[in-house]
A and B are shown apart, each in its own frame.
Chain A
């Protein structure tokens, strides 16, 4: 191999050095972007092969040498376009992963070209003919190309063209590149073309020299410099696509007039629009759905803020960043807006917060329980905690008692109060939750037609009824209400509520267990104390009572008997215990009767048995006894208490006897009186009758003296007849033997009859007798009309008897709704005040002389008063000496039902 120096090799070697340096440089930066770095290294090495081969071809002194290096150049010529092409793809579409198959296909033609080039001497597909062309000191091969070369040539230009288009396009599309980077990339793109143009047009600055490898050297150097030197990777299309297009944050670029110039897919999703719809449009138009945001950030250039959009499930939280976009001179040319959706983060935070709250409430509730607070306080604390946990101001907690839900604890604004009983029919949501054991949630209770009218003044909106489940049993209800409209309970909150209700159930169960344990201990203590007291008392009673307390076993054998037994029987308890109780009885068979009575009825009271007393006397015992049971409920004996009622019994018997005797005596007296009166009246009838016949001169004319005498006889006879009547009535009244026979009667007819009866007497004394019934006296009254007549006849008779001149007025009155009265007024002598108190007593009259004068029995007013009182009435007297007297008998108006 012969070489000779030629100055043409200088730039070629320089290019070789540059390419080598670029390869090393790119290799060193392979960690920035491995694929791009490899591509550049590959391309640089290809160019290096080309330039070195070209240099050695030029330096070759003979044809063979030139031929070898000419062919060698195909290591570069064949592959440089491929390197360019792959670079441009990787640069413009960084996300695109080039498959091995694609790369294989891409390098297939160049590889064939290389193989054909190395073997062209034999088939002339690349070079058909070659010879050295000498132009001054420039000596190179002059080559006629074969068929495949043109294949290679076309293929290479296609790759070059595609690569160039890709790069140019990405240059236009991508922004934010520094000017020098742009220049570097433009140079890199333009260099091969310029080189080609110069070479083909023959206007190369260095005649005959192919500038293509130089151009590529420039290209590869510019690429390496641009990519690694200016860190194009970070800012270049790759970064833009990955960071901006693929990032979750929304990015908006505004120009100086607040028009949108760029928007990434995330921002499009956030706004709910596409880039084509908003690019070039003013923000005021795009964001018109969020006027408050527009207003808030109208004049803000730079800010970092957190905003919330939407409500409920749709609610999103964004971290918003506004930053001004300025040119190099610091003039504002636009604005960059980034928005990061931090909803998930926010929700996580919220969830964490709730988790913490929940844990803290859990902790607090446990503490409350440990602090042994009362159940009511515990319930109240459960309600308060539930309210803050679920952000529901209106909470009521009820526990199931029988068929009702009883409210036990509430927050202040709950209309239900502790103690309210909610039966089925009210609070259907709560009962539904009770029946299903599942929470019942309603978004707007306030508009529900079936809502409980207790909530009318301030109805809650979102409500949730959470059953308090202890195992499978629902023991109560937590009813939560929110007063803020359109703020429903989230699924998560309901789940929290369910867990909380379960906790509440456990806490309550524990509290109840604890309480009942305490109560049980307390009750046991009290029971023991009570037992002790009872025993003491029983012992004291047992030792000191006069009654005899005893116990027997199942067979009637005494197991204990109180010391008092000695008082009655003379035997001490220890002598009696172990013996049958029947030995105490006069008749041992009495025990069998008592025992069967106790056994059948379980006990007996006031059962009388004769007891053997001291010194053979017989006592009467009154027994109260009952069966004793053991703990299994089996009868084991009898306990009894016996009282000595001997004396009582005797007194009772004596009393009964005397009462019977008295009753009999009284009956006999009445009978006797009745008979006596009958027997007395019969002869009196003759006396009166014949006296009157004499008086009427039925038996011949009488002298005045005789007439006077016969009048005396008649008067005395009448007096005797009255006396007999009155005595008989008085006797009956004293024996309580007067019974009233009530029947309806007409007061007017009644008064007519009495007036008619008394008229004769009044006429005889030339007294005026008037009778009146006031209009408001009922047509019918109810009463014992005979006794009423007796009263009225007595009073009228008295009035006529004691009145010398003037009149006697009878009047029936209605006093009020319940009383009527019979009133008798006379113009007689009047009754002195001192006499008014005793004239109603038997055998008392105003004064003896008057009585004698008028032959009163002295029983009339007494009988009148007693009869009046028997009728639940009363009698009053108003009297004035020499003016007259008014007797008023006031009586209740009875109805037949009172009978």
Chain B
């Protein structure tokens, strides 16, 4: 069966690696988008099972990307984890989405992502 896809919007390549590994540990396939323009074109494509979103992105901020996601009926219901180094943004978003303040621990992200994984795929994952 297909492994659920986690879409990562993160411009920092090192952080991207950490996120990819953490999400893979949580049982996701990963795809990374490195800047805002790419992100916009990606949103017209196949929706993922989970989105990890950085706020500080080149060209288009994470907050705008979030609006795009919310505006698209296919994407609107996808769980979003926001990871940001900006504590003030983090506080503003808290309660609306799952917010993680950087530095984000692998273990922390893995646990949260595991909970957000679709139920059927979680089952598959445990079987494998």
CB 8 Å contact bits of A685-717 with B (1 = contact, 0 = none): 111111011001010000000000000001001
Determine if B104 and A685 form an interchain contact, defined as CB atoms under 8 angstroms apart.
Answer: yes
B25 at the A interface (CB under 8 A)? yes
How many whole Å from A722's CB to the nearest CB in chain B? 10
A692 touches B85 (CB 8 A): no
Task: Assess whether A689 is in contact with B14, with CB atoms less than 8 Å apart.
Answer: yes
Q: Using Cβ atoms and an 8 Å threshold, which residues of chain B touch A692?
A: 18, 22, 105-107
Q: Which of B27-35, B62-70, B72-80, B95-103 contacts A (4 or more CB under 8 A)?
A: B95-103
Q: How far, in angstroms, from A684 to B102 measured CA to CA in the complex?
A: 7
Evaluate contact between A677 and B21: CB separation under 8 angstroms: no
Are A689 and B85 in touch, CB under 8 angstroms? no
Q: In the docked arrangement, what's the CA distance between A760 and B106, Å?
A: 13
User: Once the chains bind, are A689 and B18 in contact (CB under 8 Å)?
Assistant: yes
Q: Are A786 and B106 in contact (CB under 8 A)?
A: no
B91, A717: Cβ atoms closer than 8 Å:
no
Within 8 Å CB of A725, what residues of B?
Answer: 87, 101
Cβ-based interface call for A614 (8 A): no
Within 8 A of B (CB), among A667-687: 674, 677-682, 684-687
Residues of A near B18 (CB, < 8 A) are: 685-686, 688-690, 692-693
B103 A677 Cβ-Cβ under 8 A: no
B94 contacts the other chain (CB 8 A) = yes
7 inter-chain pairs at a CB distance below 8 angstroms, sorted by A residue, are A674-B88, A682-B15, A685-B83, A685-B85, A685-B104, A686-B12, A689-B106
Which residue of A684, A685, A728, A789 contacts B87 across the interface (Cβ within 8 Å)?
A728
Which B residues are in CB contact (< 8 Å) with A690?
A: 14, 17-18
Is A839 an interface residue, CB under 8 A from the partner?
no
A244 within 8 A of B: no
Is there a chain A Cβ closer than 8 Å to B56's Cβ? yes
**Shortest CB–CB separation between residue B17 and chain A, in angstroms?**
8
Say yes or no for A506: interface residue by CB 8 A criterion: no
Q: Is the CB of B22 within 8 A of A689?
A: yes
Assess whether B124 is interfacial by the CB under 8 Å rule. Answer: no
Instruction: Give the contacting residue for B106; candidates A679, A680, A696, A721; CB below 8 A.
Output: A696
- Across the interface, which residues of A come within 8 angstroms of B41, CB to CB? none
Q: Report B's interface with A, CB cutoff 8 A.
A: 12, 14-15, 17-19, 21-22, 25, 56, 83, 85-88, 91, 94-95, 101-108, 111
Report whether A674 and B86 are in contact in the complex, using a CB–CB cutoff of 8 Å: yes
Residue in B21, B83, B102, B104 whose CB lies within 8 Å of A693: B21
Chain A residue numbers with a CB within 8 Å of B104 are: 685, 688-689
Instruction: Name which of B22, B105, B111 has the most chain A CB atoms within 10 A of its CB.
Output: B105
User: Judging by beta carbons under 8 Å apart, are B102 and A682 in contact?
Assistant: yes
| Nearest 8 A/B pairs, CB to CB | A689-B18, A681-B85, A692-B106, A688-B103, A686-B14, A684-B103, A685-B102, A685-B103
Interface centre among A689, A692, A718, A725 (most CB of B within 10 A): A689
Let me know if A109 is at the binding interface, CB within 8 A: no
Give the bracket for the number of chain A residues in contact with chain B.
20 to 34
B8 to chain A, nearest CB (A): 12
Among the listed A677, A678, A687, A696, which residue makes an inter-chain contact with B56, where contact means beta carbons less than 8 Å apart? A678
Apart from the given pairs A689-B14, A696-B25, A714-B105, 20 other A-B contacts in the complex at a CB distance below 8 Å: A674-B88, A678-B85, A681-B101, A681-B103, A682-B15, A682-B102, A685-B12, A686-B15, A688-B18, A689-B15, A689-B103, A689-B104, A689-B105, A692-B107, A693-B106, A698-B25, A718-B103, A718-B105, A721-B101, A785-B95
Please measure, in the bound complex, the distance between the C-alpha atom of A779 and the C-alpha atom of B105, giving whole angstroms: 34
Residues of chain A within 8 A (CB-CB) of B22 are 689, 692
Beta-carbon contact of A786 and B94 below 8 Å: yes
Q: State A728–B101 Cα separation when bound (angstroms).
A: 14
B103 and A687 contact, CB distance less than 8 A:
yes
Closest to B18 in A: A689
Chain B contacts of A714 at CB under 8 A?
105
Question: In whole angstroms, how far apart are the Cα atoms of A717 and B104 in the complex?
Answer: 10
B108-A760 in contact (CB<8A): yes
Contacts of B14 in A (CB 8 A): 685-686, 689-690
Q: How far is the CA of A684 from the CA of B105 in the complex (A)?
A: 10
Q: Which residue of B lies closest to A745 (CB)?
A: B95
- Closest B-chain residue to A759, C-beta based? B111
Q: How far is the CB of B94 from chain A (nearest CB, A)?
A: 6
In the bound complex, residues from chain B placing their C-beta under 8 Å from that of A680 are: 85
Please state if B94 and A678 are interface contacts (CB–CB under 8 Å): no
Q: Mark A542-560, 1 if CB is under 8 A from B, else 0.
A: 0000000000000000000
- Which A residues, 654 to 675, have Cβ-Cβ distances below 8 Å to chain B? 674
Cβ–Cβ < 8 Å partners of B103 in chain A? 681, 684-689, 717-718, 721
A340 to nearest B CB, angstroms? 117
Which chain B residue lies CB-closest to A679?
B85
Cβ-defined contact, B87 with A677, below 8 A: yes
The reply to whether B91 and A786 form a contact with Cβ atoms under 8 Å apart is yes
Q: Which of A677, A687, A692 has the most CB of B within 10 A?
A: A692
Complex Cα–Cα for A718 and B104 (A): 9
Q: What is the minimal beta-carbon distance from A595 to any residue of chain B, in angstroms?
A: 55
A870 to chain B, nearest CB (A): 15
> In the bound complex, what is the Cα–Cα distance between A785 and B94 (angstroms)?
9
Q: Specify the chain A residue showing the minimal Cβ separation from B85.
A: A681
Interface centre among A680, A681, A718, A785 (most CB of B within 10 A): A681
Q: How far is the CA of A693 from the CA of B91 in the complex (A)?
A: 27
How many angstroms from the CA of A725 to the CA of B108 in the assembled complex? 18
Q: Which residues of B contact A696 (CB under 8 A)?
A: 25, 106-107
Determine the residue in chain A with the shortest Cβ distance to B88: A674
For residue A747, give the distance in angstroms from its CB to the closest CB of chain B.
14
A859 nearest CB across to chain B (Å): 14
Collect the chain A residues with CB atoms within 8 Å of residue B106's CB: 688-689, 692-693, 696
Pair A681/B102 contact, Cβ less than 8 Å: yes
